[in-house]
């Protein structure tokens, strides 16, 4: 009998169930077609000895064959047989690329391939109906074959496409513009229900509007196109997911990379070129079970934050399971490997523990990954640590509860389609801002605006609304309602600037309850915090050392000024009482951890440590990834503090504990 795997919500938390029983969603990823096959096989054995039997593997070949020819499934069978020889109890998650097309298909269908603004062709068009139909049939036959032979060992399928298989448009990191091909034009016309409308030309896509923003009326078609770019990506993903569910009678999982709003904000063209801004739609798809991404490539080194790429806590609110791909470059990787390489075994252990705390505190999943198949995980010492983490997760599993941090970071997909081409706003505000968010001294949750406005995040006291540039009227009312119910809402840069077809500072003032005035340009977004008293000699500074176009300054005598623009001396940050809560307007692109900590304290958020430490807390876990040697930890209530892995008590019935840690070491505690 084929096994059954599903994600089900238990006590408010998505849980992985295999044959009806909850299991710790911890896996290992092996690349047996990479640099060192023997190291991959050794890693499978080490994982099995550590109790990790869930195995993800990649097969680059996709069996799309000419009509009348029999598909070749041998590459899949060879890998599966090799894995099962090393671990007969392994449960498998095959990963494969749907756009890994054979040469014959590309040669026969050149018009179906993506076209860039430079005239070059690339991967297949996401709007190609021919590709979708033929890839769907090949996918159906592949799943049918694997289920017939290995159904008792396969718990899900991981289809991939586009850039590195992660479902964002290929080559956008290079600054190229995709989607000029005929299939995309036809799909766009269908989307608009207008058979005469052309695709926006390259000059239209890169044209400025009102500074950093597109004009909601004059550039309406471009805004519609950016939205369409996201929808057409997810539409194909939904179709492939449905086929897998049909062929497995709903017994197997569908896993996708998607939702990298924070990470892809750093693209040269901004997040709207990515195709990753329809997470809200994908979360409603009944055929998708798990969404995943690598750990952020920004600030992932020892001592860094190891943050998420996506608004992961909204994924859990919709009953899907989030999974982190932990592709840490361990001390066994090559010295030239980048992306925050762990230089030593001690750093490798610390980084793995920090990354584990991020997922275990919220009941999420991960796979530990040897991306290149080079032996990054082939070490007894590494697996001694991972085995301890696996046992800890299994111990947490029966009592897992929803993750409910007091700080909510709020992002809006739709508003990003109103930004002019470029990343001057999105890179500092969404991508780089994460470095401060994880260092406030308290845990944070990452949510979509739509979920906050639907009342799903009422547990938070402080809402950091990063990019609600164009909320709908119902969302405006919902956000204002937070303040009236006693919450503190911190608004960044241009909240509510666009309302329908209008664009004005008055729209901002009406939303936030603080009167602001618009400036066409301020030469620098750097701000200085006003001193709280005469004894404060040094003024803290934050923001971007780049122009703001447009810029917004506070022009409200009833608001308390908190910071001024260095370039003009005008008020950049101010706060004001709003109902039972507070409204705080931040007119620049970001804020420091220490400034956010001061706001959090006023909002009633519990602060565990000084700003600078990475603090992760939830489900009785507390992790401190330290910036310095000593940390004074304040607990929300008296508790007995245990070493989370060894289970040894460290302090009994305390509310404060002082700990000593080497810089960049992870302290992992359990509170009872």
Looking at the structure, do residues 53 and 119 belong to the same domain, yes or no? yes
Compute the distance between CA of residue 97 and CA of residue 481 in angstroms, rounded to an integer: 45
Looking at the structure, do residues 167 and 231 belong to the same domain, yes or no? yes
Q: What is the pLDDT of residues 495-530, one digit of tens each?
A: 999 999 999 999 999 999 999 999 999 999 999 999
Please check whether residue 417 lies inside any domain of the structure: no
Higher pLDDT, 7 or 539: 7
pLDDT at 358: 98
Looking at the structure, do residues 395 and 469 belong to the same domain, yes or no? no
How many structural domains does the chain have? 3
Q: What is the pLDDT of residues 345-379, one digit of tens each?
A: 999 999 999 999 999 999 999 999 999 999 999 99
Final residue in a domain of this structure, among 378, 399, 420: 399
Instruction: Read off the DSSP letter of residue 406.
Output: S
Instruction: Give the pLDDT mean for 297-316.
Output: 97
Instruction: Give the pLDDT mean for 551-574.
Output: 98
Please check whether residue 411 lies inside any domain of the structure: no
Instruction: Read off the DSSP letter of residue 418.
Output: G
pLDDT at 532: 61
222, pLDDT greater than 70: yes
430, pLDDT greater than 90: yes
Looking at the structure, do residues 618 and 585 belong to the same domain, yes or no? no
| Confidence grade of residue 210 (pLDDT, cut at 50, 70, 90) | very high
Q: Which domain holds residue 583?
A: 462-602
Instruction: Give the pLDDT mean for 164-169.
Output: 98
Please check whether residue 445 lies inside any domain of the structure: no
Compute the distance between CA of residue 323 and CA of residue 669 in angstroms, rounded to an integer: 22
Instruction: Give the C-alpha distances (Å, rounded to integers) separating 584 from 474, 513, 600.
Output: 21, 9, 12
The structure's pTM equals 0.97
| Confidence grade of residue 611 (pLDDT, cut at 50, 70, 90) | confident
Max CA separation in the chain (angstroms) = 84
Please check whether residue 452 lies inside any domain of the structure: no
pLDDT at 661: 66
Final residue in a domain of this structure, among 360, 381, 399: 399
In the block, which residue shows the tokens 């074959």? Answer: 145
Please check whether residue 37 lies inside any domain of the structure: yes
Using alpha carbons only, give the angle 191, 237, 64 rounded to the nearest 5 degrees.
110
534, pLDDT greater than 60: no
pLDDT at 24: 98
Looking at the structure, do residues 356 and 500 belong to the same domain, yes or no? no
Please check whether residue 138 lies inside any domain of the structure: yes
Compute the distance between CA of residue 287 and CA of residue 431 in angstroms, rounded to an integer: 30
Please check whether residue 306 lies inside any domain of the structure: yes
Burial letters 63-72, b for 16+ CB under 10 A, else e: bbbeeeeeee
Looking at the structure, do residues 365 and 295 belong to the same domain, yes or no? yes
Instruction: Give the pLDDT mean for 414-422.
Output: 98
213, pLDDT greater than 90: yes
Looking at the structure, do residues 586 and 664 belong to the same domain, yes or no? no
Q: What is the pLDDT of residues 226-240, one digit of tens each?
A: 999 999 999 999 999
Looking at the structure, do residues 351 and 483 belong to the same domain, yes or no? no
Q: Are 298 and 267 in contact (CB under 8 A)?
A: no
Instruction: Read off the DSSP letter of residue 650.
Output: E
Looking at the structure, do residues 477 and 375 belong to the same domain, yes or no? no
Instruction: Give the pLDDT mean for 194-219.
Output: 97
Burial of residue 183 (number of CB atoms within 10 Å: 0-12, 13-18, 19+): buried
Looking at the structure, do residues 377 and 520 belong to the same domain, yes or no? no
CATH number of the domain that 565 lies in? 3.40.50.880
Q: Are 442 and 594 in contact (CB under 8 A)?
A: no
Please check whether residue 423 lies inside any domain of the structure: no
Looking at the structure, do residues 578 and 666 belong to the same domain, yes or no? no
203, pLDDT greater than 80: yes
Final residue in a domain of this structure, among 381, 399, 417: 399
| Confidence grade of residue 632 (pLDDT, cut at 50, 70, 90) | confident
pLDDT at 533: 52
Looking at the structure, do residues 469 and 375 belong to the same domain, yes or no? no
């Amino acid at each position: 009998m084929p096994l059954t795997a599903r994600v089900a919500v238990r006590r408010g938390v998505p849980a992985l169930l295999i044959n009806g029983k909850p299991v710790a969603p911890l896996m290992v990823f092996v690349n047996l077609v990479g640099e060192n096959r023997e190291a991959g096989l050794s890693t499978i054995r080490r994982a099995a000895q550590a109790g990790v039997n869930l195995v993800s593997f990649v097969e680059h070949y996709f069996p799309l064959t000419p009509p009348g020819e029999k598909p070749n499934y041998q590459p899949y069978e060879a890998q599966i047989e090799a894995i099962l020889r090393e671990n007969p109890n392994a449960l498998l998650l095959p990963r494969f690329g749907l756009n890994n097309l054979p040469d014959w298909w590309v040669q026969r269908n050149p018009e179906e391939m993506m076209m860039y603004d430079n005239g070059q062709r690339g991967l297949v068009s996401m709007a190609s109906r021919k590709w979708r139909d033929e890839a769907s049939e090949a996918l159906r036959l592949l799943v049918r074959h694997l289920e017939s032979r290995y159904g008792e060992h396969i718990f899900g399928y991981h289809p991939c496409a586009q850039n590195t298989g992660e479902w964002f448009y290929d080559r956008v990191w290079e600054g190229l513009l995709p989607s000029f091909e005929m299939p995309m034009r036809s799909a766009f016309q269908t989307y608009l229900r207008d058979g005469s409308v052309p695709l926006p030309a390259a000059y239209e896509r890169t044209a400025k509007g009102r500074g950093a923003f597109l004009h909601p009326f004059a550039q309406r078609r471009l805004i519609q196109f950016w939205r369409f770019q996201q929808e057409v990506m997810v539409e194909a993903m939904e179709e492939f997911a449905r086929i897998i569910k049909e062929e497995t009678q709903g017994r197997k999982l569908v896993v996708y990379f998607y939702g990298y709003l924070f990470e892809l904000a750093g693209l040269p063209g901004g997040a709207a070129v990515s195709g990753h801004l329809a997470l809200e739609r994908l979360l409603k798809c009944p055929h998708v079970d798990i969404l995943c991404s690598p750990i952020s490539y920004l600030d992932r080194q020892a001592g860094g934050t190891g943050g998420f790429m996506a608004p992961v806590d909204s994924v859990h609110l919709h009953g899907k399971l989030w999974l982190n791909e932990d592709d840490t470059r361990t001390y066994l990787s090559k010295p030239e490997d980048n992306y925050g390489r762990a230089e030593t075994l001690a750093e490798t252990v610390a980084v793995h523990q920090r990354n584990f705390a991020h997922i275990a505190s919220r009941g999420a999943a991960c796979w530990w990954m040897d991306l290149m198949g080079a032996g990054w995980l082939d070490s007894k010492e590494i697996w001694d640590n991972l085995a301890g983490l696996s046992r800890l997760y299994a111990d947490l599993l029966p009592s897992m509860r929803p993750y409910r941090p007091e700080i909510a970071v709020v992002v809006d997909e739709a508003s990003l389609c109103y930004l002019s081409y470029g990343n001057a706003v999105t890179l500092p505000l969404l991508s780089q801002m994460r470095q401060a968010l994880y260092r406030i001294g308290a845990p944070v949750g990452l949510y979509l605006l739509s979920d906050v406005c639907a009342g799903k995040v009422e547990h938070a006291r402080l809402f950091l609304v990063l990019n609600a540039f164009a909320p709908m009227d119902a969302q405006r009312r919902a956000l204002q309602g937070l303040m009236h119910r006693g919450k503190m809402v911190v608004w960044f840069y241009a909240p509510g600037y666009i309302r329908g077809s209008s664009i004005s500072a008055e729209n901002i003032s009406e939303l936030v309850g603080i009167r602001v005035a618009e400036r066409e340009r301020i030469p620098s977004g750097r701000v200085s915090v006003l001193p709280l008293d005469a004894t404060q000699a040094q003024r803290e500074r934050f923001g971007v050392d780049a122009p703001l176009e447009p810029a917004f300054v506070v022009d409200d005598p009833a608001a308390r000024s908190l910071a001024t623009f260095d370039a003009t001396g005008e008020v950049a940050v101010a706060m004001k009482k709003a109902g039972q809560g507070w409204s705080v307007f931040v007119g620049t692109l970001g804020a420091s951890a220490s400034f956010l900590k001061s706001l959090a304290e006023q909002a009633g958020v519990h602060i565990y440590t000084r700003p600078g430490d990475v603090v992760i807390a939830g489900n009785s876990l507390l992790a401190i990834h330290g910036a310095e040697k000593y940390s004074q930890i304040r607990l929300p209530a008296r508790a007995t503090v245990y070493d989370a892995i060894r289970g040894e008590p460290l302090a009994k019935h305390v509310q404060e504990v002082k700990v000593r840690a080497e810089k960049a070491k992870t302290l992992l505690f359990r509170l009872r």
